[in-house]
């Protein structure tokens, strides 16, 4: 029987962090049969990245204008407008879509939305703590609170809850119920989309 003495302090067995060496340049292998394809690949990749950045900026400008037009139309017809086309001075147009879907809501935003009747949805999900289920699996069929075999300290931790928040479905259709529809629109932050 080989008995090893346990270290007096588990934290005393610490190794010094090894210094990492700098990465070597990768080996370059020639592929003459590709012609100029690698260079063209790099050029196109750069063009796509530049065009994507410009596209995102333009999309943001169109959505800002669309949001303003949407709210103006909302006020004039006294209800949520249908999706519509936005046309620029050249005559080009794209579809502006406001969906009854919303971005995620954290606790801070939930507190703000709670001040507006009917905007906040709240969902609580209860989960069993898998470690404690495994630990007490044989006796779970008994009523947990009356069971003497489960430590009182563990009883409160056996089931955990998770609260999530969201914007109530249909909130986009009720903007005019609130004193400041523009502010509520920004708070609920509906998903906006553009189509050709």
Q: Kindly tell me the number of DSSP H helices and DSSP E strands found in the chain.
A: 5, 5
79 Cβ contact partners less than 8 Å away, ≥ 6 residues apart: 173, 176
Radius of gyration of the chain (CA): 30
pLDDT of residue 9: 44
Reported confidence tier of residue 18, pLDDT bands at 50, 70, 90 = low
User: Using one digit for the tens of pLDDT, what is the confidence trace for 172-190?
Assistant: 999 999 999 999 999 999 9
pLDDT of residue 15: 57
pLDDT beyond 90 at 43: yes
Q: Which residue has the higher pLDDT, 86 or 123?
A: 86
Reported confidence tier of residue 129, pLDDT bands at 50, 70, 90 = confident
The answer to whether residues 155 and 126 touch, using CB atoms and an 8 Å cutoff, is no
Q: Where are the alpha helices (DSSP H) in 36-158?
A: 37-77, 107-113, 130-136, 152-158
Residue 161 bridge partners (DSSP):
126
Please give the C-alpha separations between residue 66 and each of 55, 72, 174, 180, in angstroms, as whole numbers. Answer: 16, 10, 19, 18
Other Cβ atoms within 10 Å of 80 Cβ, number: 16
């Amino acid at each position: 029987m080989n008995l090893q003495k346990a270290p007096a302090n588990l934290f005393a067995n610490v190794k010094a962090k090894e210094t990492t060496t700098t990465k070597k340049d990768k080996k370059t292998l020639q592929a003459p049969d590709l012609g100029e394809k690698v260079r063209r690949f790099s050029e196109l990749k750069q063009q796509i990245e530049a065009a994507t950045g410009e596209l995102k900026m333009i999309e943001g400008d169109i959505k800002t204008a669309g949001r303003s037009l949407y709210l103006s139309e909302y006020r004039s017809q006294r209800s949520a407008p249908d999706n519509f086309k936005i046309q620029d001075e050249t005559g080009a147009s794209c579809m502006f879509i406001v969906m009854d879907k919303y971005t995620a809501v954290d606790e801070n935003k939930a507190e703000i939305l709670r001040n507006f009747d009917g905007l906040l949805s709240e969902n609580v999900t209860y989960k069993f703590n898998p470690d404690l289920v495994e630990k007490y699996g044989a006796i779970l069929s008994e009523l947990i609170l009356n069971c003497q075999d489960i430590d009182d300290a563990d009883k409160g931790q056996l089931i955990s809850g998770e609260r999530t928040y969201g914007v109530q479905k249909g909130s986009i259709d009720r903007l005019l119920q609130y004193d400041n529809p523009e502010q509520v629109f920004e708070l609920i932050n509906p998903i906006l989309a553009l189509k050709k």
